[in-house]
């Protein structure tokens, strides 16, 4: 059975993951409006991944005898100044999510909730990948600078990414 504080914190993380999906879908729409279909596709995959994260948390709360309480999802921004500014916002957002996950781990340890701590380790590892992936795109855009051809080549590269659901695990 989940501790009440842990249940509340996990529910807040469900909302944060749903917001992340909503944010990335908004970014996908922004890139689509700028004729950057590869960037749009990359962001759409990000949105799908965030929904998987939310559902993993949702399932875990239920498996531990908790109750999922869905709260309203804040409206995300819809405009950014440039592809670089957008991807920097992705990187910053992923750093924020990492902080939220770390706070959950800290709470699980404080509450001696070992099952939740073990479950959250998947998210800790996932956030390392998420930050690295976003930062990689940021650094590539910086290298490209004002070279439009480079941006279109990167757009084509990003369009190759496909959504791959995570393998089923015993943790959720």
Lookup: tokens for 78: 């819809």
CA distance 96 to 90: 10
Tell the residue number behind the tokens 């009440």, with chain if given: 4
CA–CA separation, 43 vs 39, rounded Å? Answer: 6
Cβ 90 vs Cβ 136: under 8 Å: no
| pLDDT value, residue 164 | 87
User: Is the model's pLDDT at 68 over the cut of 80?
Assistant: yes
Domains and CATH numbers, the chain: 4-158 (1.20.1260.10)
Burial string for 66-90 (b: 16+ CB within 10 Å, else e) reads: beeeeeeeeebeeebeebbebbbbb
- Tell me: the pLDDT tens digits for 15-49? 999 999 999 999 999 999 999 999 999 999 999 99
Name the percent of the chain lying above pLDDT 70: 97
* DSSP letters for 106-136: HHHHHTT-HHHHHHHHHHHHHHHHHHHHHHH
């Amino acid at each position: 059975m989940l501790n009440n504080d842990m249940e509340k914190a996990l529910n807040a993380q469900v909302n944060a993951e749903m917001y992340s999906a909503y944010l990335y879908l908004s970014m996908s729409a922004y890139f689509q409006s700028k004729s950057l279909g590869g960037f749009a596709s990359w962001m759409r995959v990000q949105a799908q991944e965030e929904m998987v994260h939310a559902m993993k948390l949702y399932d875990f709360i239920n498996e531990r005898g908790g109750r999922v309480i869905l709260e309203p999802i804040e409206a995300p921004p819809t405009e950014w100044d440039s592809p670089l500014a957008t991807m920097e916002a992705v990187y910053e957002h992923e750093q924020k999510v990492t902080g939220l996950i770390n706070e959950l781990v800290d709470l699980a340890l404080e509450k001696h909730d070992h099952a939740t701590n073990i479950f959250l380790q998947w998210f800790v590892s996932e956030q390392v990948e998420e930050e690295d992936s976003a930062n990689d795109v940021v650094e590539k855009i910086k290298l490209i600078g004002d070279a439009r051809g480079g941006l279109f080549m990167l757009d084509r590269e990003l369009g190759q990414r496909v959504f791959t659901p995570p393998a089923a695990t015993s943790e959720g």
